Amino acid sequence: ADASWVEAIIPKNILAAHVPQQSKNASTVTLSTEPHISNTLCKYSDNPALRKLVYIETNTSCPENLDVLDALIDARHQVAVQQGFESYADRFLRDKMAKNQHNVYAFLQSLQKRILSGGQYRKEMETLSNAKRKVEQVHDGTLEPWDVPFYTGILKAQNGFDVSLLSPYLTVPNCIDGMTTLVKQLFGITMVEETMGEDERWDSAEAQVRKFVFADETGRSLGTMYLDLHPREGKYSHAAHFTVQCGCVLDGTSDTPEYQTPIVALVCNMSPGAGSLLNHHEVETLFHEFGHALHSLLSRTTFQHVSGTRAAMDFVETPSHLFENYAWDPQLLSVMARHYDTGEPVPPEMIQKLSHSRNEFRCIETQNQILYALFDQAIFGVPDPNQGSTMDLFAKLHRESNVPYAEGTHWHSRFGHLVTYGAGYYGYLYSQVFAADIWKHGLEGNSLQRTYGDDVWHKMLIHGGAKDPNIMLRDVLKREPSVDAFFESMEL
């Protein structure tokens, strides 16, 4: 790629820290198709040629994965049929909250109908299209996939808030302080850093992995969390919560059985440096994964196979989506977000503008999530001889959903959730509905309230996957769950 195009967005020294440069020619640079590089360029570069180049290269870089995906689909279907199920999706969904594909499709179609019926999705797309005409000075405002992140970003900034202005207030130490404050006030829990032993470390000391231990008000140990937040060569390139050791009762026959406390690791790839400034999306990701960690750390189950996040897949994202809200929460941000240089708290008006920006173009984001969930259901459902290849299906769903698609690309060949969440990707949206309901019911406007925090812990998190999610949700909400709070959160 042309160096000047790239360096306008990613400084040369930062790029070199992420991607080894192969050319001695100063006018060219070597790029990676890893998300932290490609997403940054597609979101922030005002050069449509660079955005297109990056998007096309990224989403055609693993054609061999298409054959791997086909083999996975076929193998899963064969195993399911041999076990007496109609399809892999039928097998997978039997013990989930949704129970079957009919209910999953009904849920996804009801969301899509609500988004489309009010015209908000069409309005958001037209707004982006008009922006493209104006910025690129073209008559044809047809949106390409590489246009959407760029124009949503600049329009959010033009509408009164540039989210990058928050970064000086969002350092790694600030976020860790925020996590410590959150668990202390919401649950009465202490989160204390301890020095890692060399026998615990999975990389060199320069990796900046940190260890935190959690305890309740009586001093009883709840578990251990490792934070591995920054990229390095050979490291897992996404963000995830990993369970190193599940919680469980070690000797159930004893009068005072010993409990094996959980050990978890949050692995992210945030801006390098222990004191680095984070963008707001990185903070949201951190609190999402922290929600998973708390689900693991605060559960107390007899058996390890139902500890923490070992719960129904269409429920398990509920805690993570719930804790994502804290990255937007005025109450926590006013305590956590302080300027890296002056120590001054983030201005209240900046927090207010951040809150207002949350729902801008959210219908576009949700429509994309619905599309991915529909694709996931289709490939793992009963095979359709008229469906064609996965590329054909992916393109068809884009056309039907009016979502931009670049012919010949295969974004889904890098979509790891088809492996780990096969037939269950709808669970992200399913869980968002539950999380929005819990937030609206007990935490919105009073997000650090101990009384409701105790309800969330002792009526939901503590059970891990050992209790029916429907019962846990009713216990926390004191009624049946509703989708209304989800749509209210989107201002629909």
Catalytic residues: 289
Cα dihedral 235→239→241→244 (10° resolution): 0
The answer to whether the beta carbons of residues 230 and 237 sit under 8 Å apart is no
From 182, 179, 161, 201, select the one nearest 352 (Cα to Cα): 161
Q: Can you list the alpha helix ranges (DSSP code H) found in 188-263?
A: none
310 phi and psi angles, rounded to 5 deg: -80, 65
Cβ atoms of 83 and 92 closer than 8 Å: no
Neighbours of 233 (CB within 10 A): 7
Where in 239-339 does DSSP place strands (E)? 240-245, 248-249, 259-260, 263-267
Which single residue is written with the structure tokens 């009963």? 382
Contact 164, 153 (CB under 8 A): no
Taken in order 451, 456, 459, 461, the sign of the CA dihedral is negative
Query: 171 forms bridges with which residues in the sheet?
Result: 277
Two tokens, residue 141: 């405002």
